Amino acid sequence: MLVGKTRRKQIIGILGGIASGKSTVAAEFAQLGCKVIDADKIAHELLRRQTVKQEIVAAFGPSILGPKGKIDQTRLADIVFADAGRLSALNRIIHPLVLEQVERQIERYSRQNRVQAIVLDMPLLAEVDWAKRCDRLIFVRCSKKTRAERAKKMGLGKKQLGIRESFQISLDNKAGLADNTIENNSDFSALVRQVADIFTDITDNR
């Protein structure tokens, strides 16, 4: 091996339903030396960017703004998840900017020798056709009941959960894309063991 040569970083994509525990799985990979790219966090930061805010207000009206002039994400979500056309309009504004930031982070982490792998925590990974960018796809399986309970704590009722998931690729299709499945219906220690096993397999075979 050449001295100073950087090993290519494996890209791991996390798939699963809303409130299935994708971010929890991603966080466990981070504990093992991976870098996690959080698409939701990137999107939330973009909503605070003045140029993005102006474009969204122009598309959806000033009613989406809160008392302090910031975009109220709950109001915006209520609007776009009631109309597929409006959801598509928001995605046309946000998605290219999110993906641009993801690309930049992948490039940056790829140059860092201590990074074991890069994990994409992207709710719409399959929907935006980024599954093909991944070397390993992991599906987080979680029962509908458990997901509904977790979603409720996030402020999403069963109806809202169903509506939001109706705009996504079905869970069966996501599971079919995956190279590995993590069962997230039991205790946290079981999830940790499953992540560790997959991580070992990835690092042993890179």
Q: Do the beta carbons of residue 30 and residue 36 sit within 8 Å?
A: yes
Residue 204's pLDDT band, with cuts at 50, 70 and 90, is confident
Residue 165 covered by a domain: yes
Residue 158 covered by a domain: yes
Residue 89 covered by a domain: yes
* pTM of the complete model beyond 0.75: yes
In angstroms, the CA 90 to CA 128 distance is 14
Residue 7: predicted pLDDT: 64
Residue 60 covered by a domain: yes
Domain CATH code at residue 108 = 3.40.50.300
Residue 4's pLDDT band, with cuts at 50, 70 and 90, is very low
Count of domains forming the chain: 1
> Could you report the per-residue pLDDT of 13-29, keeping only the tens digit for each?
999 999 999 999 999 99
Residue 96 covered by a domain: yes
Output the six-digit token pair for 184.
Answer: 């997230």
> Could you report the per-residue pLDDT of 31-59, keeping only the tens digit for each?
999 999 999 999 999 999 999 999 999 99
Angle at 122 between CA 117 and CA 126, to 5 degrees: 100
> Could you report the per-residue pLDDT of 162-191, keeping only the tens digit for each?
889 988 999 999 999 999 999 999 899 999
Percent of the chain with pLDDT over 90: 77
Average pLDDT over residues 133-159: 92
Residue 125 covered by a domain: yes
Residue 131 covered by a domain: yes
Print the domain residue range for 61.
10-200
